[in-house]
Amino acid sequence: MLVNLSDILRKAKEKKYAVGAFNVPNLESIRGVTAAAEELGVPVILQHAEVHENYIPLSEIGPIMLMYAKESSVPVAVHFDHGASFEMCMRAIRLGFTSVMYDASEKSYEENLRETSEIVRIAHSVNVSVEAELGHVFTSAVGGGEGRGAVGAEDFQSLEDCYTDPAMARDFVDTTKVDALAISFGTTHGVYLTEPKLDLKRIAEIKAKIDVPFVMHGGSGVSDEDFRTAIYNGITKINYYTYGAMSGAEAVKRGVEEAGGRKIFYHDIVKMGQDGIKENVKAAMKVFSLI
């Protein structure tokens, strides 16, 4: 069933679990993610990231995401991820997405505050939830996918310059009225090449200032234990894509190798990828849902 993001996250916050949010740039990803959620009986968030417009445009994939959400046996929010422009966020809202993320985190604080407030004003008038980002999530040189190139701790004078400041977060949420806030505490988009060094206490410090659902972007390389600690400290939405996409590719590779000289068809290949994504996503959902 299609639901509002705020409804899903409110329940997750109350019951101390997190909901997986999965980017789905093709039909097989949508089918794999929704099948995983239905098998486990957990809510899920289907996402289309603006950076994936080069794979498939919002106008094509959006209606398919909405169809699967409406027909699903579990609650499904359909979310526009990392929207970099006002125009794209409005397109998602007009299509029927139940939430959008407006990402102005690379702009000045004042610009982020002003532009996010305007998105919230419009979205809330039509019962659409809004996520925003404050701070800087690192981006790997391998599969980072956010369109900004590699960004690491070395690009800042200190970690305090990129991590989310608790006092600033309170001012931002109070002013913009966002429904969810993506915070920075050391995670990375893409393939994490070294073990992440996370400031998990920062999540609790921010939570002491404001009581809204927090979002973890860049979960690559994070251990199950650290995921659970982050959830306990206040994370209620976890964005997940890189390792699911890699698992789909690995499943295809294995299937082709196992076929040997036997002829295989394209529909066999996409089914292999879909099944690989589903199994990886199920494993992630179990951690997020504390199953």
pLDDT tens digits along 188-239 = 754 444 556 788 999 999 999 999 999 999 877 889 999 999 999 999 999 9
* pLDDT > 90 fraction of the chain, expressed in percent and rounded: 80
Tell me whether residue 291 is exposed, middle or buried, using C-beta atoms within 10 angstroms of its C-beta: 0 to 12, 13 to 18, 19 or more.
Answer: exposed
Average pLDDT (39-61) is 97
3-state secondary structure the chain: CECCHHHHHHHHHHHCCCEEEEECCCHHHHHHHHHHHHHHCCCEEEEEEHHHHHCCCHHHHHHHHHHHHHHCCCCEEEEEEEECCHHHHHHHHHHCCCEEEECCCCCCHHHHHHHHHHHHHHHHHCCCEEEEEECCCEECCCCCCCCCCCECHHHCCCHHHCCCCHHHHHHHHHHHCCCEEEECCCCEECCCCCCCCCCHHHHHHHHCCCCCCEEECCECCCCHHHHHHHHHHCEEEEEECHHHHHHHHHHHHHHHHHHCCCCCCHHHHHHHHHHHHHHHHHHHHHHHCCC
Structure tokens at 67: 């169809």
254 vs 139, more confident: 254
pLDDT value of residue 155:
46
Of 53, 71, 54, the C-alpha closest to 62 is 53
CB 139 within 8 Å of CB 188: yes
Q: Is the pLDDT of residue 244 over 90?
A: yes
pLDDT value of residue 214:
97
pLDDT tens digits along 28-41 = 999 999 999 999 99
pLDDT value of residue 106:
87
pLDDT value of residue 224:
94
Which among 7, 81, 165, 275 is annotated as catalytic?
81
pLDDT value of residue 186:
83
Q: Is the pLDDT of residue 152 over 80?
A: no
pLDDT bucket at 261, cuts 50 / 70 / 90:
confident
Q: Is 103 considered catalytic here? A: no
List residues bridging with 129 in a β-sheet: 99
pLDDT value of residue 189:
53
pLDDT bucket at 156, cuts 50 / 70 / 90:
very low
List residues bridging with 229 in a β-sheet: none
pLDDT value of residue 161:
61
pLDDT tens digits along 107-147 = 999 999 999 999 999 999 999 999 999 987 655 434 444 54
Report the range out of 10-24, 134-148, 154-168 with the highest average pLDDT.
10-24
Burial 14-40 (b: 16+ CB within 10 A, else e): eeebbbbbbbbbbebbbbbbbbbbeeb
| Mean pLDDT of the chain, nearest integer | 90
pLDDT value of residue 75:
98
List the domains of the chain with CATH numbers: 5-288 (3.20.20.70)
278 vs 220, more confident: 278
Q: Is the pLDDT of residue 151 over 60?
A: no
pLDDT value of residue 124:
98
Q: CA 150, CA 100: separation in Å to the nearest integer?
A: 24
Q: CA 128, CA 6: separation in Å to the nearest integer?
A: 9
91 vs 158, more confident: 91
